[in-house]
């Protein structure tokens, strides 16, 4: 087995397989759970507009940057940097990415575990009617319970591990070939159903009619950039790891734009799905993270055949979480596999166990460890903030510097595989100047808590 091509000779079977897997990484809890509540809190359509600008102006060019490092390096997050920049410290970007991936999956698996539990409650019919004390009390009782959420979180991680153990083509690619079309069908169905509800128009207006005065609020930009990074999976080398398994003939630019477009489409569809329901039942769109676990179940309960809608919704939430978790786990697995010289199975077992241990802390932070807080943030919030506000933007910044300034112009352009000279120049200007300036401003303001 050659050390030159990622994990042994493992490769994507087809370019479509790679694209579906990269879309699977991008489309996740970030689109369905995070996007609607962040958009709700930050001005609806105005937020969407700023978000779209960031995705296409900065997100997609940086995604191409990350992809190009992986495809040229043909190794895991750390190995690719070592190969392209031997005897330098650039590989620390990869190490930070591996740590970031472990942290994100630690808290991601907590929310994914809740989603599987909710799915189970809908399948058994337990949540078809409002539980005693209401959905809010039920959610609180559930997340503060010390043991039960850990079981569902472990179950989610085990499923993720079993798929990753099977490798790229037969594991991750195959799973995404099923998950992504399935997810698209279910989400389109749900958004379509949402539009038939009375009062749906108000939800659509909230999502699509901008309030220009909100553009003066700096927080909207901060939230939109963080969401764009999280949603496109940029900055921690998960996408880099995926692109290291590409065949030479599979070109990057079209795939990158495809991933950006699909991720945005899924976020908009999720927004339509959630806000049509929220407005038709007269609920505040700004209710924050519990939107999906408290507000939607209350809405489903008062809908005709709401129990079935609940089943569909939580199936799609679990599918979206799983397709992203695959890439979050592959990132440390590829690194551990190469550096420790272990089999893929052993590397997966080690990475999965580390993640579960951190995940236990994130889960207990809602209950018996809820006294562990910094500035009102519990353990999960801290992991979320550290990764979304610091590690992802910093990783993106370092990769922009690496390709834009460390590599020669010719190498950067060659690795990006952009053919049009005009686009080459635009891309270079963005990764050399625009992205670093915007990222620095946003990171500094968020670090200073402005």
In the complex, the residues that contact ligand TYR under the rule CB under 6 A are: 25-26, 28-31, 101, 104, 230-231, 233, 236, 238, 324, 327-328
Q: Give 55's strand partners.
A: none
Minimum distance, C-beta of residue 35 to ligand TYR, in the bound complex (Å): 8
For 6, 22, 74, 225, the CA distances from 246, given in Å and listed in that order, are 10, 11, 8, 28
DSSP 363-423: HHTTTTTTT--BTTB-HHHHHHHIIIIIIHHHHHHHHHHIIIIIS-HHHHHHHHT---HHH
Minimum distance, C-beta of residue 44 to ligand TYR, in the bound complex (Å): 19
Tell me whether residue 270 or residue 418 sits nearer to ligand TYR (CB atom).
270
Among 394, 395, 447, CA closest to 222: 447
Tokens 């990057």, residue located: 252
Tell me whether residue 27 or residue 84 sits nearer to ligand TYR (CB atom).
27
Tell me whether residue 30 or residue 43 sits nearer to ligand TYR (CB atom).
30
Report yes or no: 64 and 416 within 8 Å, Cβ to Cβ.
Answer: yes
Minimum distance, C-beta of residue 305 to ligand TYR, in the bound complex (Å): 28
Tell me whether residue 292 or residue 418 sits nearer to ligand TYR (CB atom).
292
Minimum distance, C-beta of residue 397 to ligand TYR, in the bound complex (Å): 16
Tell me whether residue 237 or residue 430 sits nearer to ligand TYR (CB atom).
237
Tell me whether residue 30 or residue 396 sits nearer to ligand TYR (CB atom).
30
Separation between Cα atoms, residue 42 and residue 51, nearest integer Å? 11
Minimum distance, C-beta of residue 306 to ligand TYR, in the bound complex (Å): 26
Tokens of 391: 């590690």
Tell me whether residue 26 or residue 183 sits nearer to ligand TYR (CB atom).
26
Report yes or no: 143 and 366 within 8 Å, Cβ to Cβ.
Answer: yes
Q: Which residues contact 27 (CB under 8 A, 6 or more apart)?
A: 180, 183, 262, 263, 266, 320, 323, 324
Minimum distance, C-beta of residue 392 to ligand TYR, in the bound complex (Å): 7
For 186, 252, 278, 302, the CA distances from 194, given in Å and listed in that order, are 12, 36, 9, 14
Tell me whether residue 171 or residue 238 sits nearer to ligand TYR (CB atom).
238
Minimum distance, C-beta of residue 96 to ligand TYR, in the bound complex (Å): 12
Region for residue 153 given its phi and psi (left: phi exceeds 0; alpha: psi -120 to 50; beta: otherwise): alpha
Separation between Cα atoms, residue 392 and residue 234, nearest integer Å? 7
Closest residue to ligand TYR, judged by C-beta, is: 30
Q: Give 374's strand partners.
A: 377
Tell me whether residue 10 or residue 384 sits nearer to ligand TYR (CB atom).
384
Minimum distance, C-beta of residue 94 to ligand TYR, in the bound complex (Å): 13
Minimum distance, C-beta of residue 26 to ligand TYR, in the bound complex (Å): 5
- CA 143 to chain centroid, in Å, comes to 22
- CA 214 to chain centroid, in Å, comes to 26
Q: Give 377's strand partners.
A: 374
């Amino acid at each position: 087995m050659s050390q030159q091509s990622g994990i042994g000779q493992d490769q994507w079977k087809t370019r479509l397989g790679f694209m579906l897997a990269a879309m699977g990484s991008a489309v996740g809890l970030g689109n369905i759970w995070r996007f609607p509540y962040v958009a709700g809190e930050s001005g609806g359509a105005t937020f969407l507009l700023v978000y779209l600008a960031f995705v296409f102006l900065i997100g997609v060019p940086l995604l191409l940057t990350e992809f190009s490092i992986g495809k040229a390096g043909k190794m895991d997050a750390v190995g690719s940097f070592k190969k392209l920049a031997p005897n330098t410290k650039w590989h620390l970007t990869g190490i930070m990415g591996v740590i970031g991936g472990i942290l994100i999956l630690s808290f991601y698996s907590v929310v994914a575990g809740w989603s599987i539990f909710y799915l189970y409650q809908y399948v058994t019919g337990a949540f078809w009617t409002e539980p005693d004390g209401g959905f809010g009390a039920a959610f609180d009782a559930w997340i503060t319970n010390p043991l039960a959420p850990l079981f569902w979180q472990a179950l989610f991680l085990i499923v993720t591990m079993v798929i990753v153990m099977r490798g790229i083509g037969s594991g991750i690619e195959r799973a995404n070939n099923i998950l992504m079309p399935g997810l698209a069908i279910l989400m389109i169905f749900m958004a379509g159903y949402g539009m038939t509800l009375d009062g749906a128009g108000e939800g659509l207006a909230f999502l699509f009619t901008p309030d220009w005065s909100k553009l003066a609020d700096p927080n909207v930009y901060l939230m939109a950039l963080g969401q764009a990074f999280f949603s496109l999976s940029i900055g921690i080398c998960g996408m880099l790891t995926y692109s290291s398994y590409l065949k030479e003939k599979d070109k990057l630019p079209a795939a990158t734009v495809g991933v950006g477009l699909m991720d945005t489409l899924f976020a908009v569809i999720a927004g339509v799905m959630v806000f049509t329901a929220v407005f038709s039942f007269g609920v505040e769109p700004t209710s924050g993270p519990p939107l999906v676990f408290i507000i939607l179940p209350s809405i489903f309960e008062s809908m005709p055949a709401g129990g079935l809608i609940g089943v569909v919704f939580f199936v799609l939430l679990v599918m979206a979480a799983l397709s992203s978790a695959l890439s979050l786990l592959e990132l440390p697995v590829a690194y551990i596999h190469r550096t420790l010289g272990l089999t893929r199975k052993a590397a997966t077992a080690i990475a999965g166990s580390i993640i579960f241990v951190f995940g236990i802390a994130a889960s207990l932070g809602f209950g018996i460890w809820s006294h562990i807080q910094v500035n009102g943030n519990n353990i999960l919030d801290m992991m979320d903030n550290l990764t979304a506000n610091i590690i992802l933007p910093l990783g993106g910044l370092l990769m922009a510097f690496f390709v834009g300034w460390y590599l020669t112009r010719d190498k950067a352009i060659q690795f990006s595989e952009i053919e049009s000279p005009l686009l080459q120049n635009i891309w270079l200007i963005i990764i050399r100047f625009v992205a670093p300036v915007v990222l620095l401003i946003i990171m500094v303001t968020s670090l200073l808590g402005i």
